[in-house]
Every structure is written in structure tokens, then in C-alpha cells.
Structure 1
């Protein structure tokens, strides 16, 4: 019997959750906890009818991803927990492979498997911390939308290889194999991060406590991405921006925070220019672009 439980946080992703749970059972999961953050799409009814052995935690109001994860992990009795987004699919043997990896790497507090897109292509999942040069090159409007520095973005990916196991600053939170002793030592996710950067903050604190974060391509996990957040796209973009700034202020020196906030403001200006031009296009999705413009203006006025 595997010593790794599965915990899943869900919000209105019934069909993805159905597949996620099916693959978890096919991978011989013996302990599965689903934390539901207030779904209204029939997710609860589906789990109760089709997966009666799954332990269901029902939150009438959305406490945030980190808070829901903390509660789901606390309910698990296994020494290891694979925390999954609801839009993921794991492979047979995944739990055994990740359990063996954590057994063999006692210094690893978290191991992140390799993530794949639905078409089978690689989904990058190990990164430098926010605020580093590589992070800034990969997370700005000029790089992503205009393509001014595509060569530099490629360099960032080449310096973060996804073909071998190794310690990394942090791994993407879509699939995290967690050692409970390490997780409990740092008191889990910081629940002030409602959505985004909660795994970055967790990995940072684990590293500060002496644990390592490992990229562990001993199994692959398919990740659709954005199944919950695309339902409220602009609101989540705002939350992503705020989460990055919260991370900076929590962990970096004031002078570095000030410079990073200034760079983020410049990026917002670039988004304003881009979307203002886009709004004048006959092919523009005018309601969405207008909503984005209002969001960027609001964020520029924030501290």
C-alpha cells in the first residue's frame, strides 16, 4: 500500500475533477481528500455519487487555495501527500515513484513531478524566485506579447532543464509531492496568499528552514491549467500581481522591494499601451480588453 495520500482543491471544475479522481484511483491511491471551495457546478454531487470513498471537505465560502490545501493536507494520515490541482491527471505508478523519490532524498521537503500540457508537450514547472533576472525576463509584457527578448526567454528555459532530477528554487504548484514533517515544520501554506505565489512562498520558507525543493521527473502529470481561474480571468490577473508584491514584501529587503515594485509598474504601463492599441482594433474582444484596461489602471494607483 502506498504511503502517499492525494489531496485536491476544487472550484467549479466538475469534469476535470472527475478525470483527476479517476486517474488517482487508477494510480492506487488509498487516501484521497477533496477540498471544495464553494462549487455550484455539481462537483459535490458528482464526488458523492461516483467516488464515495473520497473524503470531501465542503467550504461554503472560498477560503483561498492555500487555506483549503492546509485543511486537506491536515486531514491526511499518510507521511507524504500529493497535492494536485483539479485539472491534473496522474499516471499509474506515480504515487509509488514519488514516494520512492522522497524516501531516497530525505533532504527534499517537496518534489515536483514533470508537468505536461494536454498535447503532450512540456509545461515548464521549475523556476527561479520572483524578482530574479530570469523571472523578470519571462514575466513582462514586452517579452510575452511583443517578443522583444525571445532569445533571453529561451535562455531562461535552457538554464532550468526539465530532463533530470535536481534541487531548484521552487516548483509549480499544480502537483506537489509533500513531506508532511517538512510541511508541518513551516506550518504549511501562508493563508494570506489567497491565490497565486502560495507555493513560491512555501518553497522559500522551506528552503530557509533547511529543506530542499526538488524537480523530480520520475513521473509525468498532465496539467490543463487555469480551469478555475479562467472563469474570472481579470480578477485573477489582479490577484497574481498583488501576490507577487506580497511575496517581495514578505521576504526581500526594502530597497529591492522598491525597485521590483517600480518594474512592475512599468510593466503595467506597457500593458496599458498594448491594450489601448488593441481596443482600437476591429478584431478586439472589446469587453474583455476594456475590463483589463480598468484593472491595470487600478493597480497602477495602488501602493
Structure 2
């Protein structure tokens, strides 16, 4: 069994592989590198075989999205640690060793995220993960270094290795045994927020999620779906509600979901005022899909759910009403983030 497998999910991404795969090969000494291909129709497979013959290819039967794409591919990969890496990630020298050291020393740690900076503006954090993720009571995700659309410059202010609530799927390290014990990503999500759901399920089982700033990667972001794409809005809003149904503690479950749906409605009105009609329709579609899927996902609930899963009650209130836009503005007085 390999110590670590770096697994890159690909769908018609030959240009991204050409640009970013070389850094992964150069700086991943000791790892076995795989491309998990979601039935690409471009020349991705032939390109990899010709240009990067040391990279192993796992062929999926269709374009199954992020969740099922990884679930299917990882059935065929044997390694103690999976490093799930987006195809638009540039890695840096020695990016793997700090992660491996943490797994070696901290046996309770199941999932780790590195520092994720913006490939296009390397002094700044990147939207999808930044310096590690948390959620509020109503399931809104946010990060050290990124709250909603406010992205911070990396001045070393988050150079501490801490416990997280969720790690970004853009560059996501997990122990193989934990991944399979949790039955992988929820395939009904297709893409977006499936890593938060997986981390929440891991936390409910007593596993630890960590951030390691000594490992640094650069992420383009939005290479598959741009941030302003209504399909991304649909998936994010729908999957967030499904995640709440599965993982919220029983007490207050329906109130939290109802209030979250009210906040979604406000977001829909905001999009309408801005003339972003596609996003308003995407939220309506997400809620309708949620109604259809909610009973099925209620059955996925486990016997135990964390009571204190959130760090702040409402990040929406703090950001939009109190105008606190930086992570440290909100958390200077909070002592419950563990070092």
C-alpha cells in the first residue's frame, strides 16, 4: 500500500492538466499520482499517457461530478492517505511533508487542509477554503481569510495550525480508512458542499479536522463553474439545506432549517433587485429540489450529532448588519478555536 496517493479529478480539462500537473509531479516525491477521469471527451487520457507516463489513470464510467467521481475512483486506489486535488491547483515545494508529519503524530486527525492562496493573485487567500473553514448556526460556510466576498491578503495572520470544522475540497487530505468508513462523499450532492458534509459527518464520529499553514498551494478557482454561474448557486443552496437535514442536532432542527430558508429567500430578493434573475430562479429551484429530497436525506441521519457545531450564530448578521468583514474582527474575543 502506498503512503499517499495524489488524486486529481478531471473532466475535459486537458489545458488545466497541461498547466498544473507538472508542479504536482515535480513536488510530490514519494507519492503516487493518479488522474481520475470522469469520461472526458477531449484528449485528456491520450495527453496524460503521452506526456506524463508516470501518472496513473483511473477511468470513471461517466461524468459523475465531484462526489461520485471521487467515490468511484478511490475504490481502485490503495494508499494510507488520499490527497484529493483540483486540476487547477499549483502545489509548492515540500507541500506534502507537513501534512504527512501531522497524520503521523496526531492519530485522531482524519482530515487536513493546507493554506490555499489565489493563483492569479498570490499574495491573497483563495475563495474556496483560504485558511480553513467554519459554519454558522444556519449552515453558512466561511473561512479564515474569506468571509462571503471579502478576501484577505495573506500577511501571516493565520499561520497557526488549528482545528477546523471543514476543509476545502480544492485540496483535501483524508485517511483512506476514514473516507471509506464514512462511505465517502454524498453522491446526491453531485458537486459543491460535499466536503463540508463529509467533514461534519466525520466530526459527528469524533474525528478531527485540521489546518496546516506550512503546506501551501495556489488555486485558480472557478475553472469548472464560475462563481457567478446560476448552476453553482443552485447546487450551493440545495446542498446546504440537504446537509443541514442530515447533520443538525435534533433539538431545533426544523426551526434552523426554516430560518435558513427565510434567509435564502432574502438572498433571492437581493439577487432580484440586482437584476440577477438567473440566481433568484436558481434559489427557487434549489428549494423545490430540497422539498423532493428532504425525506430521503432525513433517513441518512446518524444516532449522534454534535450539539455545538457552529462558531457564531449568524455570519450573515455580523457581515451585512454589523459590517464585520474580516475573520479576526469577529473572532478576536473567541477562545474556542483550538490550537
Q: Same fold (TM over 0.5)?
A: yes
Aligned to 1:278: none
User: In the alignment, is the contact (CA less than 8 A) between 1:89 and 1:222 conserved in 2?
Assistant: yes
Output the aligned Cα RMSD. 3.0
Give the Cα separation in 1 of the matches to 2:264 and 2:118: 28
Q: How is 1:1-303 mapped onto 2 (pairs within 5 angstroms)?
A: 3-27=3-27, 28-118=29-119, 119-120=121-122, 121-123=124-126, 124-129=130-135, 131-132=137-138, 135=141, 144=149, 162-230=158-226, 233-252=229-248, 253-275=253-275, 289=276, 291-292=278-279, 294-296=281-283, 298-299=285-286, 303=291
The alpha-carbon deviation at position 113 of structure 1 amounts to 0.4
TM-score by length of 2: 0.73
User: In the alignment, is the contact (CA less than 8 A) between 2:109 and 2:208 conserved in 1?
Assistant: yes
The alpha-carbon deviation at position 272 of structure 1 amounts to 1.0
Give the Cα separation in 2 of the matches to 1:171 and 1:247: 15
The alpha-carbon deviation at position 53 of structure 1 amounts to 2.4
1:179-225: CA deviations, max 9, x gaps? 11222221221212111111001100111111100011121011100
Give the Cα separation in 2 of the matches to 1:133 and 1:195: 17
For structure 1, the residue ranges without an aligned partner over 5 or more in a row are 145-149, 276-288
User: In the alignment, is the contact (CA less than 8 A) between 1:6 and 1:29 conserved in 2?
Assistant: no
The alpha-carbon deviation at position 3 of structure 1 amounts to 2.0
The alpha-carbon deviation at position 261 of structure 1 amounts to 1.2
> What is the number of equivalent residue pairs in this alignment?
275
User: In the alignment, is the contact (CA less than 8 A) between 2:134 and 2:143 conserved in 1?
Assistant: no
Q: Secondary structure at the match of 2:237?
A: helix
The alpha-carbon deviation at position 97 of structure 1 amounts to 2.4
Q: Indicate the structure with greater helix content.
A: 1
User: In the alignment, is the contact (CA less than 8 A) between 1:2 and 1:96 conserved in 2?
Assistant: no
For structure 2, the residue ranges without an aligned partner over 5 or more in a row are 292-339
Runs of 4+ in 1 over 3 A off after TM superposition: 130-138, 289-303
